[in-house]
């Protein structure tokens, strides 16, 4: 104990000889080290990664796609943001739904949007949805050890119409007529299998995803069960005509009673 005090006194003397600026830097560094050692002074949620622990989904229909997501962002058990927009535009008729680390997914979406913009300028025409999905796949696969990102890429192009591509963690790429992702998706796979049918119209897809009027409601079911999903439901329909967005507030969603 005596040697430690002597060392600190010696170090303090050296810093004092360096002038006020050196002394201030020493005190600041010492304070940072003290805070890092006393982890009980920092709330546990501040040490958790900001995550869009979430429920996202996308459905193809003849002529376009419907995408939807909840709006809750968490850091551990703490709700950091109640109204996050997880439907991120990549191009005019191409969107991605983000789940996983908020920082990782935002960075990937920005990078893909940047690359796709230049690609569109070079082609002098709107990019393909599959091109956007491949860019996501390449980035997620290349940095699979560092990133935590599950992405659904959806949109419309003149070559293949409405398309939905899933890029789960690890960088796989697969096209599916309907896709769900995020922590809340595990609660609704049975519901999806029972209620999804091919050839649905745009209105049926909207009701299937989330209907505030009491219709079929996959996202509302997931938000009821999953503690990391909640807030409002954001919906978007993407067709050749363009984008239609809507929001269903929490008090407009159907309620369920758990046993």
The set of catalytic residues is 54
Secondary structure (3-state) at 50: strand
Q: What is the dihedral of CA 98, 66, 240, 132, to 10 degrees?
A: 30
Per residue in 1-38, is it b (16+ CB within 10 Å) or e — as a string? eeeeeeeeeeeeeebeeeeeeeeeebeeeeeeeeeeee
Which tokens go with 105? 């997914």
Cα distance between residue 11 and residue 167, in whole Å: 54
Q: Phi and psi at residue 126, in whole multiples of 5°? A: -60, 145
Q: Assign 3-state DSSP to the chain and report helix, strand, coil percentages, each to 5.
A: 40, 25, 30
Give CA angle at 65 (59, 71), nearest 5°: 70
Which tokens go with 203? 């209105």
Per residue in 220-246, is it b (16+ CB within 10 Å) or e — as a string? bbbbbebebbbbbbbbbbbbeeebeee
């Amino acid at each position: 104990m005596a040697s430690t005090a002597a060392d600190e006194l010696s170090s303090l003397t050296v810093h004092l000889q360096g002038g006020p600026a050196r002394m201030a830097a020493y005190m600041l560094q010492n304070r940072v080290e003290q805070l890092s050692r006393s982890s009980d002074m920092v709330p546990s949620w501040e040490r958790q990664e900001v995550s869009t622990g979430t429920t996202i989904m996308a459905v193809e229909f003849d002529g376009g796609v419907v995408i939807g997501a909840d709006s809750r962002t968490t850091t551990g058990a703490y709700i950091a943001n109640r109204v996050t927009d997880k439907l991120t535009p990549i191009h005019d008729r191409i969107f991605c739904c983000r789940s996983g680390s908020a920082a990782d997914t935002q960075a990937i979406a920005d990078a893909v949007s940047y690359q796709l913009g230049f690609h569109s300028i070079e082609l002098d025409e709107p990019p393909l949805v599959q091109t956007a999905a491949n860019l996501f796949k390449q980035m997620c696969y290349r940095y699979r050890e560092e990133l935590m990102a599950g992405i659904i890429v959806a949109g419309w192009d003149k070559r293949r119409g409405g398309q939905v591509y899933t890029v789960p963690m690890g960088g796989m790429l697969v096209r599916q007529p309907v896709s769900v992702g995020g922590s809340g998706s595990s609660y609704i796979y049975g519901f999806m299998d029972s209620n999804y049918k091919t050839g649905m119209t745009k209105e049926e897809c909207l009701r299937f995803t989330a209907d505030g009027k009491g219709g079929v409601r996959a996202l509302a079911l997931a938000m009821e069960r999953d503690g990391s999903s909640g807030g409002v439901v954001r919906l978007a329909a993407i067709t050749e005509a363009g984008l239609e967005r809507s929001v269903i507030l929490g008090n407009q969603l159907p309620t369920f009673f758990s046993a």
